[in-house]
Every structure is written in structure tokens, then in C-alpha cells.
Chain A
Amino acid sequence: GAVVSQHPSRVICKSGTSVKIECRSLDFQATTMFWYRQFPKQSLMLMATSNEGSKATYEQGVEKDKFLINHASLTLSTLTVTSAHPEDSSFYICSARLAGGPDGELFFGEGSRLTVL
């Protein structure tokens, strides 16, 4: 089956630094990827929709200058948390839509746990 890989799976950084998380579709092309964040013991909240070759669409309340999303190729989207602060500590999960696939055919990555000290 289709695989979505996220890297790193865990990252710890100091406050004020930037962290990049990669989301790769390993064996399929994904024209669209979605980024979610999940706080402890809470649900997943959609942050943004990433389309290959165009600017990401952010959900209301998500700071696009803080969470930079780049979808440079059909297999890779990156989320950069800029000037990270402890409140950005969360579990970030991406999902990828299979290009030309059936409606709603989504595949989720394993998630990346960010801890900001």
C-alpha cells in the first residue's frame, strides 16, 4: 500500500530556533498534502492544505509566517516551524492525497513529535 513518511519522528529544539518537518509520499504522487497538529489528549486540527507548486492554504487562526509550508514536488511537502516556542510543542501529522486516486484516498504519515524547550 501507499506509504507516507515523516521525518524526523521526534525533534527537540530550543526556543527561538526553527524546525523543519518533511512529509514524503514514498511510492505515489501526491498533488495535495494536508498538515495537522494534535495537542496531547486532543484531536487533530487541520493547519493547512499544501498543493504542489502553489502557496499553501491556511486554516483560520494558523499563522502562515510561523508555519511555513512548501510543496516543491509531487512527493515532498515540508513544514517549518519558525522561531519555535514551547506552546508550539505538539504532534504534527501530514496526510497525502493520491493524485488521480479515488475520492478521499488519503494516507497519513506516522507523525512528528516536536518538543520546544
Chain B
Amino acid sequence: AQSVTQPDIHITVSEGASLELRCNYSYGATPYLFWYVQSPGQGLQLLLKYFSGDTLVQGIKGFEAEFKRSQSSFNLRKPSVHWSDAAEYFCAVGTSYGKLTFGQGTILTVHP
């Protein structure tokens, strides 16, 4: 069965600092990997996705993620965090069909 682990429940960074959110997955086949962001009481917005090809994926809002098969990881990064990035971030693994398994989420707090 597929699973996703986000080891960090809560991360706090200062505005302008770099960010890395960790994601490890377990999947029997070639994974389809996603990162979503959720603001309080809102739905999900797709930041980026990886299906195949270049293992470094660029997304919206300046985010990127790197797929490392050997480590079963798909960490999300941003070189300089903005206060508006404060939200909850979910990593997900799934099929091309669209059935997703989500990680527990990481809450990002940004200090001015």
C-alpha cells in the first residue's frame, strides 16, 4: 500500500530565509508525486507535481521539489520565504488516475 510521511508537523522560518519541507513516500511502482498548499479553511492548491523526466520540478510561487528515488523522497524547497507562504503543505503520492494518498501535512509559520 502506498504511504506518505512528512516528518515535520510544524516548521517556523523567518521571512527571507530558505525553506525545505521533507516528504518520504512508499509506493510499489513509479510514483506520481504532488505538493499541495492549503490555507486555513480553504481547499487545496497544487504547487507542483512529478510524473517522470527531470527530477527537479519547478512549481508556482517560486517552489521547487526534487525527486530522489534512492531516498524515496520528494522534498519541497523555496530559496526565500515570504510571509504569504504561511499555510499547511501536503505531500501526496498517487496514480495517474488521480487517487491520492496524502501525508500528514506540515504547518509553516513565517516570522517577520
Contact = CB atoms under 8 A, between A and B. Distances in A.
B28 interface: no
B104 A104 contact: no
Contacts of A108: 36, 43-46
A36 B43 CA distance: 11
Q: Please report whether the interface of chain A is mostly helix, strand, loop or mixed according to DSSP.
A: strand
A44 B102 contact: yes
Interface range on chain B: under 10, 10 to 19, 20 to 34, or 35 or more? 20 to 34
Which one of B36, B97, B101 has the greatest number of beta carbons of chain A within 10 Å? B97
A36 B100 CA distance: 10
Q: Which range holds the interface residue count of chain A? A: 20 to 34
Interface string B72-112: 00000000000000000010001111111111110000000
B42 A104 contact: no
A113 B44 contact: no
B101 A93 contact: no
Contact of B99 (A49, A91, A109, A111): A49
B51 A110 contact: no
B42 A111 contact: yes
Contacts of B95: 104
Given A6-B43, A113-B41, 8 more contacts: A36-B102, A42-B105, A43-B102, A95-B98, A97-B98, A106-B100, A108-B36, A111-B42
17 contacts: A34-B99, A42-B104, A43-B104, A44-B44, A45-B102, A49-B99, A95-B44, A95-B100, A103-B32, A104-B94, A104-B95, A104-B96, A104-B98, A105-B98, A108-B36, A109-B43, A113-B41
